[in-house]
Structure 1
Amino acid sequence: MSDDHRAIGADGPAGESRRAVDTATAAGPPYAECVLCREPTEYPESHKGITLCPVCAWQEAQRTACSG
């Protein structure tokens, strides 16, 4: 698994500065964390099931599409 999406534009480990900006500017309910990279997702914390951020969802779709 690649950690590239977490390191882009991040000052600290695992994208801490980007996460701080995302949660500070996000209007709405507290957002659930991605189960893979812990970035905020588009889902509220009350969302049931596995929550993935858009980047991890795209990467997971790529993995499953090529696993014929």
Structure 2
Amino acid sequence: MSDDSGDSDREYCLIDATRPPRAEGPPYADCVLCRKPTEYPESYRGITMCPVCEWQEAQRTACSG
């Protein structure tokens, strides 16, 4: 029987838990691809990308089918 309450979508969470925390304000980390400021704190260690590069990377690595 199907559940029409809309709660079934919570089972399929697509949020990437490996994303760095959002910065409250400057200084921001630079994007590793285009060197523009990101939404992430400068103190974060790891790969950081601006929203445009994140979206493009997601498009490149998405499954097609």
**2:30 aligns to what?**
33
Matched, 1:57 2:45: no
Structure 1 residue runs of 5 or longer lacking an equivalent are 1-26
What is the TM-score with the length of structure 1 in the denominator? Answer: 0.54
Q: Report SS of the residue matched to 1:42.
A: strand
Question: What is the percentage of aligned positions where both structures have the same residue?
Answer: 83
Structure with the bigger RCO (C-alpha within 8 Å, sep 6+) is 2
Higher CA-based Rg: 2
Structure 2 residue runs of 5 or longer lacking an equivalent are 1-23
Which structure has the highest helix share of the two? Answer: 1
Shift of the alpha carbon at 1:29? Answer: 2.7
- Tell me the number of residue pairs that the alignment of Structure 1 and Structure 2 aligns: 42
